[in-house]
Structure 1
Amino acid sequence: MKTPPRAFSLTLPLVVTTPAGADDLTVRGGAAQVVGLADHAALALDDAAAVGAEVADRAPAGAALVAVPAQHGPAAFAERLGPVCGFLLTAPGHPTVYISGDNSEVAVVEAIVDRYGQVDAAVLFAGAARIPAIDAPLTLTAADARAAALVLGARRVVGLHVDQWTHFSEGRDALESEFAGLESPAGGPLLAATPTGSRTEVSL
């Protein structure tokens, strides 16, 4: 995590990340309660002892956050790039939301669907991030984001991680072009319009 977002995260009531990420953040201090989840571990969001009263009081009964695998670029570089994860946000009677994290591989998404089933909404980190030392995307390309969305069976997709950083090799225009013509069963385009700096309500 870059320095400004790391500092911001430590002002929040709760930060959930990988165990290694939690170790790094904890030593830096801050007001946040930091929880590290291994792949497939779940955190009860309505449990004040686990997440703090500020989060638990807002969570629906039975709400949980499940850490799921993610692969940040080619497997050969996993140790160098460090561990990453995605999440499933679930609650009885509420939509299931998948958050990809810095995952670059559709095969990882397929394995998640095989284990947990399809989802209602997907938040996909795209942008095809690249660095000079590694000749491969470190996050989803626009084409792979489309493929992942279809595998997930999502009724709506939110595309993130496509602008404001120089290491993105594809911008929002590439993502919008790839999703052009894909309609949601809930009505309207599958890819939600999410203007920067504006609050967006996403219908499912």
Structure 2
Amino acid sequence: MKPRPSLFTPPSRTEYDMADPMSARKNCAATVLGGPTTLIDVGGLRILTDPTFDDAGHHGYLNKTAGPAASETEIGIVDVVLVSHDGHPDNLDNRGRAFAMTAPLILSGPLSADRLGSPAVGLSPWSSHAVARGDGLGELTITAVPAVHGPQDGERDADGNINCEVTGFVLSGEALPTIYVSGDNASLDTVAQISRKIDGIDVAVLFAGAARVSTKFNGRPLSLDSRGAAAAAAILGAKIVVPAHYDGWAHFSEGRADIEHAFFEAGLSQRLHIAEHGNWIPLTA
């Protein structure tokens, strides 16, 4: 992607009026609902990442420990659903999948999109899809970027993926912050590659719970751990980091306190923006 000058300035810490119903759209803000599920209101569009709306309970070998901060009914209509991968229930559970299929557009990797079917569109890494903005100011470009769902030296499957195909996304548009959504990526090499190809990432939504499954890759992290998230923030130069996918499931080995401590030790606490699930975080000044 062609480098561009950043038009973004970081937000003040003024909070949005939380008396507004969840379905009321915000002017460029994000809220984490639990697990990886994050609402991003940008350019007059509502984007939903990796929907997981089931109540707590077992999903095979994974155990969901908490439901979302808002239900699919409460968040209202969404314009685009981003699915980093469809094969793991902590990124797309039963109710999340049903809700995603009602959206006008799902963007995912090619393999996931093939399995999901319409309205899913598959994007290979570095390919883009443009969506008309709801504010009438042109288009929002959504670019697929690589993600590695496990250690860099992990065994690759027949499709060349570690663990499975996973896709990250970058959202960009004129006079909007450029927003990176990592998906279940554990690779700092991949983060560095993204930072070289896409200049001026302003906001990073990082899946940062150090997910671990004892039977996979000797129990090594399948997503960023807290120190990796801080390192990713530094590599990207993101002014705002919104962590997600660090609670709500039993296989996350690190939580909010670990993330806050890692950013403190790295001297990056001012970049870290964590709110209680369901509270909005402004992404522009």
TM-score category of the 2 structures, normalised to the smaller one: 0.7 to 0.9
Contact 2:177 / 2:284 at 8 angstroms: preserved in 1? no
TM-superposed CA distance for 1:59, in Å, is 6.7
Provide the rounded CA distance (Å) in 1 between the counterparts of 2:136 and 2:121: 17
Give secondary structure in 1 for the equivalent of 2:175: coil
Provide the rounded CA distance (Å) in 2 between the counterparts of 1:91 and 1:11: 25
Residue in structure 1 matched with residue 203 of structure 2 by the alignment: 121
Provide the rounded CA distance (Å) in 2 between the counterparts of 1:125 and 1:38: 20
Which ranges of structure 2 fall in alignment gaps of 5 or more residues? 1-85
Residue in structure 1 matched with residue 221 of structure 2 by the alignment: 137
What RMSD over aligned residues (CA atoms) do the two structures have, in Å?
Answer: 1.8
Residues 149-203 of structure 1, C-alpha deviation per residue, up to 9 Å, x if partnerless?
Answer: 01100110000000001110111111111112525xxxxx211122112233234
Taking a change above 3 Å as real, the CA distance of residues 59 and 101 of structure 1, as seen in their structure-2 partners, is farther
Contact 1:72 / 1:78 at 8 angstroms: preserved in 2? no
Q: Which has the higher contact order (CA 8 A, sep 6+)?
A: 2
Residue in structure 1 matched with residue 128 of structure 2 by the alignment: 42
Contact 1:71 / 1:78 at 8 angstroms: preserved in 2? no
TM-superposed CA distance for 1:19, in Å, is 0.7
Provide the rounded CA distance (Å) in 2 between the counterparts of 1:58 and 1:166: 40
1:152 counterpart = 2:229: no
Residue in structure 1 matching 2:255, options 171, 179, 182 = 171
Residue in structure 1 matching 2:183, options 82, 101, 123 = 101
Greater strand share, structure number = 2
Provide the rounded CA distance (Å) in 2 between the counterparts of 1:127 and 1:77: 22
Of the structure 1 ranges 12-21 and 58-67, higher mean CA displacement relative to structure 2 is found in: 58-67
Greater helix share, structure number = 1
Which ranges of structure 1 fall in alignment gaps of 5 or more residues? 47-55, 184-188
Residue in structure 2 matched with residue 72 of structure 1 by the alignment: 149
The one-letter code sitting in structure 1 at the alignment partner of 2:122 is: G
Provide the rounded CA distance (Å) in 1 between the counterparts of 2:136 and 2:211: 33
TM-score (norm 2): 0.61
Residue in structure 2 matched with residue 49 of structure 1 by the alignment: none
Give secondary structure in 1 for the equivalent of 2:149: coil
Contact 1:120 / 1:154 at 8 angstroms: preserved in 2? yes
Count of equivalent residues: 185
Residues 50-94 of structure 1, C-alpha deviation per residue, up to 9 Å, x if partnerless?
Answer: xxxxxx545741320000111000243342621001111110221
Calculate percent identity across the aligned residue pairs.
38
The one-letter code sitting in structure 1 at the alignment partner of 2:140 is: A
The one-letter code sitting in structure 1 at the alignment partner of 2:281 is: T
Contact 1:60 / 1:91 at 8 angstroms: preserved in 2? no
Taking a change above 3 Å as real, the CA distance of residues 62 and 8 of structure 1, as seen in their structure-2 partners, is closer
Provide the rounded CA distance (Å) in 2 between the counterparts of 1:200 and 1:64: 22
TM-score (norm 1): 0.83
Taking a change above 3 Å as real, the CA distance of residues 98 and 162 of structure 1, as seen in their structure-2 partners, is same
